[in-house]
Structure 1
């Protein structure tokens, strides 16, 4: 059979893409059956028809098990983005009629502490209890993706640190909590024995930085790190530091008692950082009562958690006046 390249998206293609999305999300045909309420032969036929429409092989199936091809992974990510944007459109449209039902998407920055993640779960639970017909999709993104997802309409709310220039097209709902951390090195590193860095040039020591984090290449008093490699998350930065070849900034909650056997603060904790936490939303997102409640609950539960983060005291009335 001659494959037909897809030039125009049709309604039937949307149905095929939803089948593929379910199969890819469930990591297999059998697991997708109860989700799609379809039998495996029908699912297989739908995937085959989609592959013919796209002129691509999307997945491998057989004795080796289910696995997306390289092209299939790209189609899956694009399909996820499209359906997420469509769900957001439907949710916002319902809100115009005071119909608070459907799916909302919350994106959470990866590598946040377990305390913050527990607070997120409580906030989501509270929101779903208050609005009976609301379902919340929780997704994670690397730090360098945060601004894009907030602006793109792929989600309703984003929970993240942010230390760049704030774009006017994004609302920043400040949480009275910040992520704190220090400059770390491995116990085998020469700087682990140094008490003061006043006489030490930090640029002489290779460092690891986190992509997209502008404050990730300097420390207090304007002293810059000599960043030689970049990581996409804090856990990767920690692994690089543990090699003994690099120094770098890390949130304190990632330096667990087990990790303290391998890495230590540089110069008796002289160098520290603090990153503010926010709930972000694009200004194109209509903040209906559901989203406003979710923001309020995220703020309250995170401020109450106090685990892996530092709450900053709010100014007193006397100080404000």
Structure 2
């Protein structure tokens, strides 16, 4: 069976194109003019291709030029490759042509550094590939995002995959840990971790996100006395810095406050849960070209 390297090199493609031209011209002699190289050079190229494929592709000699069965199969495969290339080019062109107007991207909360980096790279790539698109970014509560996607009022969202709604599709992007925190003015700030347990934590007012989060997070929240509600991380941070509440923050958002001594983690090995992020789109969006372009760009930016 013919076996080229997994990734075709430019040299492989060159040899296949020469073979295709020879077949199209009906032989080596007629292909000389088309390829602008001598017959002996063409013969060397075809021999190299046969060696790489470990196949005899054609008969050449006094009786003329003819394809072997394997040569015909390889030629057909080249034709199929040409067709696929044409289809791909047409698809990309159609996406670029159709993708004008607004591309609406929603997020559910304050962006940590990982999501900020991903979104900024995405915006730059969209501007390069589809300059006619006008990006519109906004932050909305989870339920409003779900409704906007279902009503084709938004194209894509970067949000926690706490629950999965019929009609939407979810692709997990990454996770970041969320830790229980308190401020420097909170009574627990100077309390050693060894003295802190579930019973003690349950005595202090805590912040609830106000949504039904993942099972790991629910288990952690059940240990606390919910006395305030804040889903957005910046508003949750304000409650924490008041010194009146304990609550969970993602590590990337809490880090600068931890480093400056304004916040501390409370038993971080025990009181934490994963904050899972997903790319969410409608399963059958009205502006499918925009959504597919956005998804293809995002997937190209994600680590493999």
Q: Which category of TM-score, normalised to the shorter sequence, fits these structures? A: 0.5 to 0.7
- Inter-partner Cα distance in structure 1 for 2:299 and 2:223: 33
CA displacement at 1:231 relative to structure 2: 1.6
Compared CA separation, residues 209 and 160, structure 1 to 2 (3 A)? same
Unaligned segments of structure 1, at least 5 residues = 1-94, 305-313, 315-321
Compared CA separation, residues 289 and 226, structure 1 to 2 (3 A)? same
Unaligned segments of structure 2, at least 5 residues = 1-93
Compared CA separation, residues 224 and 150, structure 1 to 2 (3 A)? farther
Compared CA separation, residues 144 and 227, structure 1 to 2 (3 A)? farther
Q: Is the 8 A contact 1:143 1:232 kept in 2?
A: no
Residue aligned with 1:267, SS: coil
Compared CA separation, residues 293 and 242, structure 1 to 2 (3 A)? same
Q: Over alpha carbons, which structure has the higher Rg?
A: 2
Residue aligned with 1:204, SS: coil
Q: What's the counterpart of residue 205 of structure 1?
A: 204
Q: Is the 8 A contact 2:98 2:289 kept in 1?
A: no
Q: What's the counterpart of residue 172 of structure 1?
A: 170
- Inter-partner Cα distance in structure 2 for 1:218 and 1:174: 17
- The count of aligned residue pairs is 207
Which residue of 187, 192, 201 maps to 1:194?
192
- Inter-partner Cα distance in structure 1 for 2:268 and 2:98: 56
- Inter-partner Cα distance in structure 2 for 1:199 and 1:132: 54
- Inter-partner Cα distance in structure 1 for 2:276 and 2:287: 22
Q: Is residue 230 of structure 2 the alignment partner of residue 238 of structure 1?
A: no
Q: Is the 8 A contact 1:171 1:280 kept in 2?
A: yes
Q: What's the counterpart of residue 63 of structure 1?
A: none
Residue aligned with 1:214, SS: coil
Moved more, 251-260 or 105-114: 251-260
Query: After the TM superposition, which residues 1-321 of structure 1 pair with which residues of structure 2 at under 5 Å, given as runs?
Result: 99-164=98-163, 166-175=164-173, 177-192=174-189, 193-196=191-194, 197-198=196-197, 200-215=199-214, 223-260=222-259, 261-286=261-286, 288-301=288-301, 303-304=302-303
- Inter-partner Cα distance in structure 2 for 1:216 and 1:250: 17
- Inter-partner Cα distance in structure 1 for 2:288 and 2:158: 18
Q: Is the 8 A contact 2:180 2:271 kept in 1?
A: yes
